[in-house]
Each structure stands twice: as structure tokens, then as C-alpha cells.
Amino acid sequence: MHALKRVSIWGLIFFVLLTVGSNVWVVFSTRDELYTEQNQLPDHGVGLVLGTSNRTSSGAPNLFFQKRIETAAALYHAGKIDKFLLSGDNSSVYYNEPVTMQKALVKLGVPESAITLDYAGLRTLDSIVRCKEIFGQNKITIITQPFHSYRALFISQYYQMDAVAVVTDEPGFDYSVKVRIREYIARTKAVLDLYVLKTSPRHMGQKEKLNHG
């Protein structure tokens, strides 16, 4: 019993150290590639918008979704982005993040011809790798919230992509506390996926081209 207790304690210590170390590594290695001002953003041309549901579990509008779409549209109208790759989950006929994002962008004046949909962006890792390997993009601007952008950039750096992130407004801490806690674990998993497990996207398939803007 004492041996089991010691193993449990050491296991907990290892988990805490791994989580803290992974988060420090992910954040500090990518923070210089985050931009909040449009006029300082490098001219990368292609924007990768990472998917999320447009509704929360309660059915209310998802502020994360709204802010990403509003930021993406503003970048297009400012001439900072010419084409978009909308990457998200399309795991059932009743749930389609890329199409939902496309409809929202079109409503804000982004032409459909400037939008390409990636239906197999089931995770951030999948979205990043498929952006490079399937859609042939190595120089991108990632559009998401600050807490999420660190992990997206970390994965991009691992795959030697020239990526920056333009961060959107974040909802208040009370609104996003559960998401932020999950992100701490997700960063740890990203380190393990890349450097230990060598995880690949669940779906790859044939190469595709972006639509012409």
C-alpha cells in the first residue's frame, strides 16, 4: 500500500512538472510571433482560421467563434489577407465548422471565391499539418484567440512553417475558464504528440489547391 502511494505521489509530481514545463516551453518559444496590431502584421497573404463551434453547449452564441470571424473579415478588408483556409471539424452531417465559418465570413463581405474549406481539421495539429501538406501553404497567418495561438504556432514551428498569429479579443476569464484549463493540458499533449508519440493527422488524402481570391 505504501509503495502504491509513493508511485501515485511521484506520478502526480511528474504530471505537474510535465504540464508546467510544456506550457512554459510552448508559450515562451512562440510569443514573439503573436501580433495584436494589423499594421505590424507581416504580409503572409493566407489566413488559417481555426475552427470552433458557433454555439456553446447551452445554445448561446460562442464569443470565440464570433471574434475569430470578425478579426478574419477585418484583415481581409484591410488588405492583410487575400485568401482564407477555414479548417475545422465536419464529423457529422449535423456539425460542420468550415461551412459555418464560411457563411459567417460571407455575411461580413468576404467573397466565397477567397475561401477554401478544410473539412478534416479535427484538431489543431491536423489543421496545421494539413495546411502545409495537403494545401501546400508554408507561410500563413493563424487567426484565433491568444491562449490558443501559442499551441498553433508551436506546432507550426515544429513543421518548419513560416507562421505568425494575429490574436483576437478574448472573452472574460469567467466565460473562458474551462477552455483555458483544457488548453494547459492540450499544450502538454502537443509536446507529447510532436516529440514522443509522433502523432499524424487522422485524415490526409490528396493534395488540394486554395481557391483564387
CATH at 182? 3.40.50.620
pLDDT computed for residue 58 by the predictor: 83
Count of domains observed in the chain: 1
Q: Is 68 contained in some domain?
A: yes
Q: Is 92 contained in some domain?
A: yes
Give the DSSP letter of residue 55: B
pLDDT computed for residue 173 by the predictor: 65
pLDDT, tens digit (0-9, with 9 covering 90-100), for 163-207: 999 988 777 766 778 888 999 999 999 999 999 999 999 999 899
| 179, containing H or E segment | helix 173-192
Q: Is 202 contained in some domain?
A: no
Residue 203 and residue 122 in contact, taking contact as beta carbons nearer than 8 Å: yes
pLDDT computed for residue 1 by the predictor: 58
Return d(Cα 47, Cα 167) in angstroms, integer: 12
Q: Is 212 contained in some domain?
A: no
Q: Is 90 contained in some domain?
A: yes
pLDDT computed for residue 25 by the predictor: 98
Domain that residue 47 falls in: 2-197
Helix residue ranges, H only, 90-172: 97-107, 124-133, 146-158
The three-point CA angle 51-183-42 to 5° equals 60
Q: Is 211 contained in some domain?
A: no
pLDDT computed for residue 187 by the predictor: 97
pLDDT computed for residue 213 by the predictor: 58
pLDDT computed for residue 169 by the predictor: 75
Query: φ and ψ at 115, to 5 degrees?
Result: -120, 130
Block means of pLDDT (10 residues each) for the chain, length 213 residues? 78 92 97 90 92 87 93 95 95 85 97 96 96 96 94 98 89 76 95 96 91 69
pLDDT computed for residue 4 by the predictor: 79
Q: Is 30 contained in some domain?
A: yes
Q: Is 210 contained in some domain?
A: no
pLDDT computed for residue 158 by the predictor: 98
